[in-house]
Chain A
Amino acid sequence: EAGVTQSPRYAVLQEGQAVSFWCDPISGHDTLYWYQQPRDQGPQLLVYFRDEAVIDNSQLPSDRFSAVRPKGTNSTLKIQSAKQGDTATYLCASSPTGGNTEVFFGKGTRLTVV
């Protein structure tokens, strides 16, 4: 079974540039999560979806970050006008609906903003 796939694996930007991250969850998983993991810190939830609907985006910096999952499968996280403080690894995860379910993480996209 294929795991959660993310691309690109690495990105280096100058401040002010835009970048998009792509995530392909495990087939059949209807819940998808985006986490931000700054260096030497634990992951922090940014947004999550059930199917195509955003369930919670309260931690997403809405002025520059956006996330979509138009068909309830793949998802894209976009940063407009990146800042040095956005330097982090962005992790995508997925899980099936239901209690006591495991969450599966992708390998992440490591973003460096210079």
Chain B
Amino acid sequence: AQSVTQPDARVTVSEGASLQLRCKYSYFGTPYLFWYVQYPRQGLQLLLKYYPGDPVVQGVNGFEAEFSKSNSSFHLRKASVHWSDWAVYFCAVSMNTGGLSGKLTFGEGTQVTVIS
């Protein structure tokens, strides 16, 4: 069965500093990977997605992620954090069989706190 692990439950970062959020997945086959962000009292919003191809994918708001098959990882990065990035970030994996890409398995999430 597929699974996702986000080893850092909480990350505190200074505004303007760089950010990396870790994600490890377990999946037999070719994974489809996603990063979502959840702002307070809001639904999940897609930051970026990986389908087999270029291992580095660009997302919204300056986020990017890098897929590594050898490390079973899909880490999220941002070069310079803004206070508006204060949110919970979820990594997710899905099978894409018959187009059912919404059957997602999520990690536990990482709470990002931005300090000035």
A positions within 8 Å CB-CB of B: 3-4, 31, 33, 40-45, 48, 50, 55-56, 91, 93-95, 97-103, 105-108
- For the complex with contacts A48-B102, A103-B104, A107-B41, 4 further pairs of A-B residues with Cβ separation under 8 Å are A41-B109, A44-B106, A45-B104, A98-B99
* Cβ–Cβ contact A91 & B44, under 8 A: yes
Distance of A107 Cα from B42 Cα, bound (Å):
5
SS of B interface (majority): loop
* Cβ–Cβ contact B101 & A95, under 8 A: yes
Q: Does B49 contact A (CB under 8 A)?
A: yes
* Cβ–Cβ contact B102 & A103, under 8 A: yes
Distance of A95 Cα from B102 Cα, bound (Å):
7
Pair count A-B, CB < 8 A: 65
**28 residue pairs A–B, Cβ–Cβ below 8 Å:** A31-B100, A33-B102, A40-B108, A42-B92, A42-B106, A42-B107, A42-B109, A43-B44, A45-B105, A48-B103, A93-B44, A94-B102, A95-B101, A95-B102, A98-B99, A99-B96, A99-B99, A99-B101, A100-B51, A100-B101, A101-B102, A102-B49, A103-B104, A105-B43, A105-B44, A105-B45, A106-B43, A107-B41
Looking at chain B, what size class is its interface with the partner chain?
Answer: 20 to 34
B77-116 interface bits toward A, Cβ cutoff 8 Å, 1 = contact, 0 = none: 0000000000000101000100111111111110000000
Contacts of A99 in B (CB 8 A): 96, 99, 101
Contacts of A106 in B (CB 8 A): 43
